Structure 1
């Protein structure tokens, strides 16, 4: 059954849009008497739901586990009969007597609770008591995601994102059924993850003395202010556990063999030049690469071992992007290695370099993930590709039977301007309005159905060179990350921008209650009044 366009937006403004939803007569009334009933497997999810509803209710609903309640109930449970809805699908039925949330797996029950929160009046997101009686419209929903990978990347390396903000964003992403959080933790401008065996990575590598002011391509000015910070292993474990409770996998990224300047600043012997360098204070692509020696591989295996101990994610991201090969080209020792290995050039050396680490990850039952440059010297065995320079890399990888996450800069790079308004805060450049994000289809027409099965899903990326504060971070993410969540969740034939926009207009009150900074929908209509944006560099 499919809902009709005539559905009342204010009552059914669910994002992302469910696969199937039908409004029926009546309401369920949530009151002080309503209990949340769960089975053993869904108890923690019931508790999360109770705590989410509590501020606006003024009380915490009781959660009863493993018993039937004679009272009106919100009932959560696992139903193996719903296996055809997959790992994350669910059914949600609201009648005057009861609210029933069912799924074959816990993730599905969790997503049913996120939909239920959005069925309630928007005021339920308030952080202070509003009312003890709430109407939930009677509906019948059957829902499951189009893709298994619905991701968002945050770049803490360029501007550090404090732990509390990461936890807040996890809640907001989970509300929109995003299930992968990719953390870019190392780069030329900062190393953000505590590694016990190599303390200088954070003692030295986590801090830069100052930061370029304005656009790096035009500016020679610096702010004179030190910037830095890192996550302790305890903080990262807290982030991972908080995310896991909300069915989000945190994927760490250690960028190799380029973007290595902060690590080399901490330990110069890791670099090709083996000479002192400081943590980078400007943006762009720097020439510092890890030296392909056994000592450096041992260092990287040690770092990866600590990373794997913190992050249970099946995927470990090793970067592979934007590695300028000048230092490798100029090094006699590196050139001798290329010859000894019988390789054609530095691109093949990069492929060999990454393969050494890919083998190490495979031995630990992990999967190597890298940006599409890892295709250039031959794709390491078993690697999964993130296609960012358009979709061509993703097409080539899928045709070679490698798994792919589609994340092209042309559709999902949220560091691009979302408006031509001259008042917009400084961004790296580019122009990516909300409707363009929404128009993205992760499955290219060029792929056969068999090849298309290798497209795991889609991800939006927010690089943070020009995003110095958490309010700015949220402004760049929202609402564009919500558009991505709908593209990755909702069946293709159910995507319609005008409908999305109508639901988003209602949804803004929820974001505001959650203290999320966002660009309002009403501003979309002003776009044609602004001159087209000139490229920023």
Structure 2
């Protein structure tokens, strides 16, 4: 779930990256030495290259390190690259042989794409071949990793040929929930560039705060960018109000237009395109607080959704987007489109009139009307619309690109309709979920997405055809910031998991090996730490919930279960086999082992097959307040020999308060002496609207 609340390094410059095809045109086989298949990834390089051939000998660079760039006359990107190599302390070579010679030739043979490169390290020097400055830039990133930012006294000889698997390799930074400075954003751009990521998606607006200067609507930054609370959690649990910028309690901020231009240019020179997101029609509480006439009720603090029946809403959105497009030259403009409540639309006279006049049958089609209309506006200005997969609801706009976060199903649906998609499934790509055992980590929104999980993501399902695969632009990791107030905490959640996503996006599946990657991630984390970043320390990783690591054998294992209340379709686990399959859940309900029940009790009966002594019946539940996962109010456990007359064995009451924000597990169990063939287990919902129960196994002993 996207937001399930009720719902310095390698300082190199160049120009915007050019999209590469999904598959390389030409690549030599992966070899080591004189043709032996390589057993391990090249030391320190993330993402792992397509091909790495080790050679005998080493190269010892001079002091200072010298370089030369050979490119067509007047090639501006090449000139930018050269200027920045100077910034590393490297020196342009005079008449002698340079340590590094970079050749940029649009007609270069054997180079797979515009982001591809060949890097050859020989005893006499280093040579880079590329078709564009983007390819040359990525070659230098590889070289910097191999040499620990150029500090190596000697470099092992090798030939690396490389090209990305996907053209879109992204990261989303959430600056609405907690604002981040320009310098912080630049630091992350530097590290993203090192690992060959090329899209920075900036989540600039949300109910928690508006973060971009818009001249036409000054109240967005005078008022909607500021909260009288220290952090998001206090604001969310408080009255969710905003305040004037000069209020002594004000916390927040925004980017001026000049600062946005600075970020965009800084990213461009590192081959990263910045994609702005302006949320609509949902997640717009801050807009309707500042300009209440844009909500259905016309009153501050009444509406979280913009009113699509009001023509002034479209005037506002178009004026905002015009100013946004002046600042961001990106091909895509992200318009959000997710999690709109739409409830006010049903009772709004303007919305009902819009639905009548446009022939719209429901509020989903009304949202689709808004999305279609905004898409036409963006297209008329030479841009393309990108949105979360809810933009599929009510009918997808004809040229829209879907960013699929609720799994990959939405993206696959768009692809099969002939439209493009970017995959960002929460199960693998949400970095706000805990990356290690929750009891060892800072408070988070919930979930568990360790490095191994991110790395295991395979974007292309086996059933996808080559034509469909061409419509999959790539992948992205998202880091929502509700529970992440500080910069160091944000970096801690990003790294090294974003390295894993980078390798998913760039490297071929056959080149991936988690254990080898983990060793490289340890090295790269040290490199980042030496530059002042604050990555999670992989060396102290605790790992998965121990109970989940081995089968649980017990009397009910494999026995049939009948359900008086159905499980929820989004969290079936193994269906009817879940509660007796001997498989215990991990740290997260998203691991497909926990079975979910929404707004209902759980009432199931296990048939043991014959009457037998029963001394223990227990089931474990979890609580994670952020995503509305609660303990049951109580559990009732019954036994029966005939399946008709049941005896209450135990009633176990919950003692975990709903307000407890931590991830907790509790087993509700009967212990005693009885005989039974049938065991009925009833877990009573706590009654909180939108609340979930999650259970992994009913253990009988």
What TM-score, normalized to structure 2?
A: 0.69
Deviation sequence 1:424-482 (CA, Å, 0-9, x none)? 11111111111010000111233222112110000000011111011000011011110
How far did 1:143 drift? 0.1
Q: Which has the higher contact order (CA 8 A, sep 6+)?
A: 1
Question: Is 1:2 matched with 2:26?
Answer: no
- Look up the match of 2:604: none
Q: What is the aligned-residue RMSD (CA, Å)?
A: 2.4
Q: 1:182 to 1:82 in 2, by over 3 A?
A: farther
* 1:389 equivalent among 391, 400, 406: 406
Question: Is 1:490 matched with 2:519?
Answer: no
- Look up the match of 1:296: 313
Question: Is 1:63 matched with 2:92?
Answer: yes
Deviation sequence 1:514-537 (CA, Å, 0-9, x none)? 211111222335545599534512
2: distance between equivalents of 1:222 and 1:353? Answer: 27
- Look up the match of 2:265: 241
* 1:111 equivalent among 124, 138, 152: 138
- Look up the match of 1:441: 458
Q: 1:134 to 1:208 in 2, by over 3 A?
A: same
Structure 2 stretches lacking a partner, 5+ long: 1-28, 242-247, 549-585, 588-621, 626-701
Structure 2 SS opposite 1:140: strand
- Look up the match of 1:76: 102
How far did 1:235 drift? 0.4
Q: 1:350 to 1:63 in 2, by over 3 A?
A: same
Map residues 335-350 of structure 1 onto 2, 5 A cutoff: 335-350=352-367
Query: 8 Å contact 2:208–2:232 — kept in the other structure?
Result: no
1: distance between equivalents of 2:304 and 2:259? Answer: 31
Q: 1:105 to 1:356 in 2, by over 3 A?
A: same
Map residues 372-411 of structure 1 onto 2, 5 A cutoff: 372-411=389-428
- Look up the match of 1:44: 80
2: distance between equivalents of 1:82 and 1:89? Answer: 11
2: distance between equivalents of 1:310 and 1:500? Answer: 38
- Look up the match of 1:89: 116
How far did 1:161 drift? 1.0
Q: 1:197 to 1:164 in 2, by over 3 A?
A: same
Map residues 443-482 of structure 1 onto 2, 5 A cutoff: 443-482=460-499
Q: 1:496 to 1:46 in 2, by over 3 A?
A: same
- Structure richer in strand, relative to its length: 2
Query: 8 Å contact 1:94–1:100 — kept in the other structure?
Result: yes
- Look up the match of 2:442: 425
> Which range moved further: 327-336 or 160-169?
327-336
- Look up the match of 1:514: 531
Query: 8 Å contact 1:268–1:274 — kept in the other structure?
Result: yes
- Structure richer in helix, relative to its length: 1
2: distance between equivalents of 1:45 and 1:271? Answer: 48
Structure 2 SS opposite 1:303: helix
Query: 8 Å contact 1:233–1:310 — kept in the other structure?
Result: yes
- Look up the match of 2:55: 24
Q: 1:337 to 1:424 in 2, by over 3 A?
A: same
1: distance between equivalents of 2:60 and 2:190? Answer: 26
Query: 8 Å contact 1:213–1:221 — kept in the other structure?
Result: no
- Look up the match of 1:252: 276
How far did 1:8 drift? 7.7
Question: Is 1:536 matched with 2:634?
Answer: no
2: distance between equivalents of 1:511 and 1:50? Answer: 22
Which structure has the bigger radius of gyration? 2
> Which range moved further: 296-305 or 364-373?
296-305
2: distance between equivalents of 1:83 and 1:154? Answer: 36
How many residue pairs get aligned? The number is: 510
How far did 1:221 drift? 9.4
How far did 1:236 drift? 0.5
